[in-house]
Amino acid sequence: MNPTIDLLKSHRSIRKFTDQAVSDELLREIVSAGQAAATSSNVQAVTVIQVNNPDTRDSMAELAGGQTWVKEAGAFTVWCADLRRSGAACASAGGQFEEGMTEHFLIATVDVGLAAQNAVIAAESMGLGICYIGGLRNNPAKVSELLALPDQVYPVFGLCLGYPAQDPDIKPRLSVDAVLMQDTYSENQFDKHFDDYNERLGHYYQTRTGGTKVSQWTDEMKKLVGKESRPHMRSFLDDKGFKMR
């Protein structure tokens, strides 16, 4: 349709990178593009930490479940929801930061997602590949310790950036008809698309793995949302000052 939409639809997660470094100048430009994303009430509740120390990157790769691309990518960053800075701005104007508000937590977390995706598109437009690392939330307390994160700041995810050393296929998504609804929510609209998507995603996995992976989307959702997922996050966020009231 146009180059921007073509770029958006060509996204793949990259997990193999060349040895070429991502320059500091390019990374700053990518983060700057992230800053240009929409931000609720101009809070700009995002902090990005570039992790250069090899030992720290090794530790984070292990904490994320043995994701070796964390230490192999040309650059690795951790994207944090940050209310510490806006709280300091509030204090500098003579106010008192109101801790523990669920709305503030949502604002900060959404800001991180918006900014990171802007940055990802900027990176991909420059020929880089990326991989989000949600696995950092396996042990967010240890990640916070490694990064010296204060209260009111938490790591939402990591982001690998680098020059791709692989060319994987594009993972298919659900049909737009299962996602785009008119006027009201319709459960009858999406369940009829499950069989088709299971077939398309199953074919993708078979092709990508040479026939070694057999999986369907409904089975994946059974494994993911059919059980508790990182129940430690509630107490971790509470300890960091995000008390949700």
Residues 48 and 137 in one domain: yes
Contact between 145 and 123 under an 8 Å Cβ cutoff? The reply is no
pLDDT one-digit tens code per residue, 159-201: 999 999 999 999 999 999 999 999 999 988 888 899 999 999 9
Query: In terms of C-beta density within 10 A (0-12 exposed, 13-18 middle, 19 or more buried), how is residue 91 classed?
Result: exposed
Domain identity same for 34 and 106: yes
Taking a C-beta distance cutoff of 8 angstroms, is the pair 81, 156 a contact? yes
| Position 220 in a domain | no
Q: What is the pLDDT along the chain (245 residues), one digit of tens a residue?
A: 799 999 999 999 999 999 999 999 999 999 999 999 999 999 999 999 999 999 999 999 999 999 999 999 999 999 999 999 999 999 999 999 999 999 999 999 999 999 999 999 999 999 999 999 999 999 999 999 999 999 999 999 999 999 999 999 999 999 999 999 999 999 888 888 999 999 999 999 998 878 788 889 999 999 999 999 999 999 999 999 999 99
In this structure, is residue 222 part of a structural domain?
no
pLDDT of residue 213: 84
pTM of the model: 0.95
What is the 3-class SS of the chain, one letter each residue?
A: CCHHHHHHHCCCECCCECCCCCCHHHHHHHHHHHHCCCCHHHCCCEEEEECCCHHHHHHHHHHCCCCCHHHHCCEEEEEEEECHHHHHHHHHCCCCCCCCCHHHHHHHHHHHHHHHHHHHHHHHHCCCEEEEEHHHHHCHHHHHHHHCCCCCEEEEEEEEEECECCCCCCCCCCCHHHCCCCCCCCHHHHHHHHHHHHHHHHHHHHHHCCCCCCCCHHHHHHHHHCCCCCCHHHHHHHHCCCCCC
Burial class (CB in 10 A: 0-12, 13-18, 19+), 20: exposed
Give the C-alpha separation, 242 to 239, whole Å: 7
* Residues 177, 163 share a domain: no
Task: Please check whether residues 69 and 190 belong to one and the same domain.
Answer: no
147 & 176 share domain: no
- Domain membership flag for residue 221: no
Same domain membership, residue 109 and residue 59: yes
Are 159 and 175 within one domain? no
Same domain, 175 and 164: no
Please report the pLDDT score of residue 30 as a whole number.
Answer: 98
Give domain status of residue 245, yes or no.
no
Residue 206 lies in a domain: yes
What does the pLDDT read at residue 22? Answer: 98
Give the closest residue to 110 by CA, choosing from 167, 26, 46.
Answer: 46
Query: Whole-angstrom Cα distance, residue 169 to residue 13?
Result: 10
Residue 202 lies in a domain: yes
Domain assignment present for residue 219? The answer is: no
Inside any domain, residue 73: yes
> Is the domain of 150 the same as that of 192?
no
Round to whole Å and give the CA distance between 108 and 80: 9
Residues 96, 205, single domain; the answer is: no
Residue 114, token pair as written in the block: 């918006």
The residue written with tokens 């073509």 in the block is: 6
How far, in Å, CA of 215 to CA of 220, rounded? Answer: 7
Q: What is the pLDDT of residue 211?
A: 78
Print the domain residue range for 177.
171-214
Split into its structural domains, the chain has a count of 2
Report the alpha-carbon distance of residue 11 to residue 123 in Å, rounded: 11
Same domain, 130 and 188: no
Q: What is the pLDDT of residue 187?
A: 86
